[in-house]
Amino acid sequence: AQRVTQPEKLLSVFKGAPVELKCNYSYSGSPELFWYVQYSRQRLQLLLRHISRESIKGFTADLNKGETSFHLKKPFAQEEDSAMYYCALQTSGSRLTFGEGTQLTVNP
């Protein structure tokens, strides 16, 4: 069965510091992975997907099949990055399995 693990429920960094949100997955098929973000009082929205290999708001994530990881990184965190971040694995039929989420707080 598929599973997504985000080991940190809470992560706190200072503005300008690097940030890495960890995500590990288990899936027997070919994984499609996403990061979703939920800012305070806003709806859940897509941040980035691994197949796009793009940088959104300074965030990047690389799929490492050997380590079954899809960590989200940003070299210089900003206060507006404070949000709840969910890693998600897409399986058949466009169904998503979500990790438990990491609440990121960027302190001034």
The binding site for other proteins (CB under 8 A) comprises: 34, 36, 43-46, 49, 86, 93-101
- Residue closer to other proteins by CB (options 28, 66) is 28
Min. distance of Cβ 46 from other proteins in angstroms?
A: 5
Beta strands in 22-108 (DSSP E): 24-26, 32-38, 45-49, 60-61, 72-74, 83-90, 96-98, 102-107
Min. distance of Cβ 32 from other proteins in angstroms?
A: 9
SS3 51: helix
- Residue closer to other proteins by CB (options 42, 67) is 42
Min. distance of Cβ 17 from other proteins in angstroms?
A: 26
- Residue closer to other proteins by CB (options 53, 78) is 53
